[in-house]
Chain A
Amino acid sequence: MLRTTPLLMVLILALITGCASTSHEPPAPGLAITPAADDTLYRALGQREGIQSLIRSFLYVIADDPRIVDQFAEAPIDRLEEKLNEMVCVIAGGPCHYSGDSMRRVHRGKHISNADFNALVEDLIKAMDREGIPFTVQNTLLARLAVFHGDIVHR
Chain B
Amino acid sequence: MMRSVREKYSCVLMLLALALLLAALPARAGSRLTATGGAGSIEGSAGGGLIPWAVLTGTASDTETGAGVGMSHAWLDDYQLHTLSAAVTINNRLELSVARQILSLDTLGLDSLQLDIFGLKARLWGDLVYSRSGQFSAGVQYKTLEDDALPLALGARQGHGVDAYLSHSKLWLGAAAGYNLLSSVSLRATRANQLGLLGFGGPKNEAYHAVWEGALALMPNAHWALGMEYRQKPDQLNGLPEDDAKDLFVAWFPQKHVTATLAWLDMGRIAGLDRQQGVYAALQLAF
Contact = CB atoms under 8 A, between A and B. Distances in A.
B174 A149 contact: no
B133 A139 contact: no
B31 A119 contact: yes
Contact of B185 (A13, A135, A149): A13
Interface string A116-155: 1111011001000000001111011011001101100000
A65 B268 CA distance: 50
Contact of B212 (A7, A20, A118, A121): A7
Given A139-B179, A146-B130, A118 B174 contact: no
Given A17-B170, A113-B62, A139-B178, A122 B127 contact: no
Contacts of B127: 114, 149
B185 A10 contact: yes
Contacts of A143: 173-175
A40 B6 CA distance: 62
A32 interface: no
Interface string B107-131: 0000000000000000000010111
B10 interface: no
A interface bracket (residues with beta carbon within 8 Å of B) = 35 or more
B73 to A, nearest CB: 29
B232 A114 contact: no
A150 B125 CA distance: 13
A79 interface: no
A52 B194 CA distance: 57
Nearest to A19: B133
Contacts of B31: 67, 114-116, 118-119, 122
Interface residues on B, range: 35 or more
Contact of A21 (B30, B129, B131, B210): B131
A115 B62 contact: yes
Contacts of A11: 187
| Chain A contact surface mostly | helix
Given A6-B212, A113-B63, A21 B168 contact: no
B177 interface: yes
Given A115-B61, A115-B63, A119-B31, A7 B174 contact: no
Contacts of A140: 173-174, 178
A146 to B, nearest CB: 5
Interface string A1-39: 001001101110110011011001000000000000000
B64 A115 contact: yes
A147 B174 CA distance: 14
Interface in B146-194: 168, 170, 173-175, 177-180, 185-187
A14 B61 contact: no
Interface string B233-249: 00000000000000000
A20 B62 contact: no
A22 to B, nearest CB: 8
Contacts of A118: 31-33, 61
Question: Residue among A18, A136, A147 with the most chain B CB within 10 A?
Answer: A136
A7 B210 contact: yes
B8 interface: no
B275 interface: no
Interface of B: 30-33, 61-64, 92, 127, 129-134, 168, 170, 173-175, 177-180, 185-187, 210-212, 214, 221-222, 232
27 contacts: A7-B210, A7-B212, A10-B212, A10-B214, A11-B187, A13-B168, A14-B185, A17-B133, A17-B134, A18-B133, A20-B133, A24-B132, A113-B63, A114-B62, A114-B127, A115-B64, A117-B130, A125-B33, A135-B179, A135-B221, A139-B173, A139-B180, A140-B178, A143-B173, A143-B175, A146-B130, A150-B130
